Amino acid sequence: MIARPMPRRAILKAAGLAALGAGLPACASRRPGSLVWPEPPRRLARVHVSEDRIIRTVVGLRPFRPSGFVVRTEKIGDTTVVHNYGHGGGGITLSWGTSELAVEEAWKTGQRRFAVLGCGAVGLASARLLQQRGGEVTIYAKDLPPRTTSNIAGGQWSPTSVMDGDRRTAESDALLARAARLSHRSFQQLPAAEFGIRWLENYVLSDEPLQEWWEQSLVRDLYPESRELRRHEHPFPARYARRFTTMLIEPPIYLSAMLRDVRLAGARIVVRELSRREQVQELPEPVVVNCTGLGAKALFADEELRPVKGQLTFLLPQAEVDYIVIGDGLYMFPRRDGILLGGTFEHDVWSLDVNEEARRRIMAGHRALFEGMR
């Protein structure tokens, strides 16, 4: 066979590759890893923050207890009541976990007919878990989605702002960690797109060295890809940044899908407000799972329960924004129903009126953040 002459360009390319290959061991021995090029930071789209892009501002009241959420059983006459409320800022996050704990207690009674009080994230999770065990469920609620407190939530999966850190005990840490793990796994078992669930990168920003959230330290492994970023590894105007990945659960989609599934599984839904403890005892179901959130303060005389006002401003949606930002008392979640801007946690405020001063502060803070991106 007659060999064809190799083109001059191919000869030079081959020679260059050979020379590079010959030099690899020497370079590697002098500077380990020097030939591994650093991955460039991902290009993040800016959020366009301006008054003319606002589509709505909403207000909700978180049911906060300084000592943490309640999962316990009591008897009211012949009725067994299993309490499941007081989640603070972690209602959606912990809903499946604390409901699993509550349903375990309810099932121990041997009864198979249950009343669930409340139709937010916690009530719906409790109802579904009872149905999955074969229980017959009736939901009693003052409001149904989309008019529940859960519909006002941001929806990021993160068991934070659920209790005061100085009230922690070994027992409360263990309970919070167990509820968080149960809930985290349950959300992953749902069809993500159908229930409005997405995994997103989170960027926590500060001009001061970042401290780990104590709640996060209890379940550190549930925050994948968590690491500190150097200044050139992110585009934000902040000296310190931490990145991790977590789920965003979009309440309008999620709660609608949950309510549908509860109904398809045969639940009876009664729109009714219970205002007195005696009314609970009058219900025909022998076991009641109380998921009334802030309503438990009056209904069951929980004096520790108090409101924490949260306010969210939504901008027009931006499909290209696919990350979460948290820092300096502000946070941004990119949802299908709009870019959510938040940053309020007002203790003991019962008003559902929009706080214009807080709205302007949130807008100004986010505008400065995103205009300062590189």
Q: pTM of the full predicted structure?
A: 0.88
CA of 311: how far to CAs of 314, 341, 353, in Å? 10, 9, 9
Q: How far is CA 66 from the centre of its chain?
A: 20
pLDDT tier at 25, thresholds 50, 70, 90: very low
DSSP SS3 for 205: strand
The amino acid that residue 53 corresponds to is R
Whether the ω angle into residue 286 lies within 30 degrees of 0, i.e. cis, is no
Residue that the structure tokens 């001009």 belong to: 207
What domains appear along the chain, each with residue ranges and CATH number?
Answer: 51-371 (3.40.50.720)
pLDDT tens sequence across 57-68: 999 999 999 999
Q: What is the DSSP letter of 39?
A: P
Region 259-285: what's the mean pLDDT? Answer: 96
Residue that the structure tokens 């005892």 belong to: 281
- Please answer whether residues 70 and 304 qualify as being in contact, where contact means their C-beta atoms are separated by less than 8 angstroms: no
Partners of 28 in the beta sheet? none
pLDDT at 37: 56
pLDDT at 213: 93
pLDDT tier at 219, thresholds 50, 70, 90: very high
Q: Is 256 exposed, middle or buried (0-12, 13-18, 19+ CB in 10 A)?
A: middle
**pLDDT at residue 4 greater than cutoff 90:** no
Of the chain, the end-to-end C-alpha distance in Å amounts to 60
pLDDT tier at 29, thresholds 50, 70, 90: very low
pLDDT at 36: 53
pLDDT above 70 covers a percentage of the chain that reads: 89
Q: Tokens in use for 102?
A: 């509550």
Region 76-87: what's the mean pLDDT? Answer: 97
Q: How many CB atoms lie within 10 A of CB 62?
A: 25
Residue 318 has φ and ψ, to the nearest 5°, of -130, 100
pLDDT at 368: 97
**pLDDT at residue 146 greater than cutoff 70:** yes
Residues 6+ apart with CB under 8 A from 239: 206, 207, 208, 231
pLDDT tier at 42, thresholds 50, 70, 90: confident
Residues 6+ apart with CB under 8 A from 54: 313, 314, 315, 363
**pLDDT at residue 292 greater than cutoff 70:** yes
Q: Is 32 exposed, middle or buried (0-12, 13-18, 19+ CB in 10 A)?
A: exposed
pLDDT tens sequence across 203-214: 999 999 999 999
Region 41-66: what's the mean pLDDT? Answer: 96
**pLDDT at residue 161 greater than cutoff 60:** yes
pLDDT tens sequence across 330-348: 999 999 999 999 999 999 9
